[in-house]
A and B are shown apart, each in its own frame.
Chain A
Amino acid sequence: MDNEQLLAEIREANLTYLMLAQNLIRKDRAEALFRLGLSEEAADLLVMLSPAQMLKIASSNMLLCRFRVDDDLVWNLLTNHNVKKVENGTTTRLHASILMAGRFADSMAAAH
């Protein structure tokens, strides 16, 4: 894959992300904050973007959305690696969901 193509794919992913985020926020703001892991301020900015602005922002060599799992424990649970007592994939993923929902609530509380 040449560089041109890579950049086109990043732009595509960015645009898809921005449009999805806008749709989610317009449909149900509170739910969208949970699904996207965004702050209220970021959501307010995102939802105001015009299509032309979105196109401009999407054309970048950087991805706009970032990896949400920033923690080894959650990652191991999601991928079912390095688990000790519980080795059932569904159960470990449920454990990961509890941790993710809790951690973001933590960071949200710290930010306010």
Chain B
Amino acid sequence: MLFRPDLDDFRLLGRFTGKVVYGVGVVMALHAPVAFVLGESNAGYAFLIGASVALIAGAGSQVALRAHGRLTATHALATVGLVWLVVPFFGAVPLLLSGHYAYPVDAYFEAMSGFATIGLTLANDLDHMARSVNLWRHVMHFLGGQGIVIVVLTIFATTSGAIGSLYTGEGRPERILPNIIHTARFILRVLALYASLGIPALWLALVRTGWDPLPGLFHALTLFSTAFHTAGFAPMSASAAVYRSPLVEAVLVVLMLAGAFSFALHYQLWQGRRHELTRNLETRTLAFTLLGIFVVLAVGLARTGAYTSFGELFRIGFFQTVSAHTTSGLATVPTRLFVTEWGVLAPAMIVTAMALGGMAGSTAGGIKAIRVGLLLKGLRRDIRTVLLPEDAVVVERYHSTTVRILRDEQVRGAATILLLYIILYLGGGMLGLFYGYELQLALFESTAAGATGGLSVGLVRPDLELSLKVVYIAQMLVGRLEFVAVFALAGYLISIVRGRT
């Protein structure tokens, strides 16, 4: 039975959402001095406006909304859904004021794409965008990739009790450490480690390829944020193609793969358990699908004769496979070529790679390797059950930090999420068909939005139909939060109308 939420429930939701808005306001305010130092005064004032509004809303909510109840699991999930709906409104303010977005909904789309680490963009003339605004796009990747709620509350909250149940709402299936604050801080330590290696490596590669040191540093920072958070915004419209450097691409591939690894796997590696790389069901599944998809994609490209030597085919094809499979969305060729040059099979593999995504508990989106692995294990168990004598007991095991026995509910859960993702991808695709776009294009873009893939074949553009923009925003939100938090928020809204007192 649904209970209609009382005032205390609303206050709890508003109060926690306000805390996160407050935190995002503080981060936004840090961009103002950056803008003024870079001589981008209008952008600086835009950040002050955006940050001030967020701080007023955030601090005001703490004063006005005094709640007496405790944050339950349902509250937590609904709060996560609400935070992810509300925060992009504030994040969109400096974007809209930058003068690079035609409509308010475009700026909101961009902010949602940034926070949800999608990478689809509606920016006009990105190549002349103020550096501070461009930096904000990539900081949104950081906040969203790590989990806005967790990042903000870990930094600003003093107790861990309240945020424990918020953790899973942001698409993180399991805790790495018993204490949630320790888990969140471990995640930030992993980020710091990769940043301390990845940013200098990218910067050196960029300088070596001909970039001046200061612009090179900006590109290294933003590219790191995109690659490690498996996001998709690039500092320039030509994405990674503008660097013309196999070295930069190699560093990006390593960072994208690291970003697609779950933080639980990073923890195991941190503890020196390197065998997890070869035994873990998820790493095995990811390796299997990555290589399988690359092989089929290479066959597709070879059939169309898109590239004349294996060297070119490998460099371009492998980068795009990794970019799509990790749901990063960086490109080393103009993505228009996916339509005009790559035939049908290779783009279909890009869509498949985006749809599958990275590991659960990573920054990547999509169905996730663990679910694919569990489904394949379940299928194998069913086949063995049919083939073996009737009284045989078939037990399927898998390795995920320890050896575990496959249970029916796990397979059922994985199948449910798989089905939901397929509905999500097809739903957006159907609407694209309704507006007259070709099936391949509509499905490509819909999958990119729902799986946080971020690659685009040109449908997402400022004059895209409003309803498609709204649907893609919804897909980004639902795909990033893996359904549950959005369902909880929707349940809240339904309970207002249909719940009992």
> Are A and B co-members of a single complex?
no
* B residues neighboring A (CB under 8 Å): none
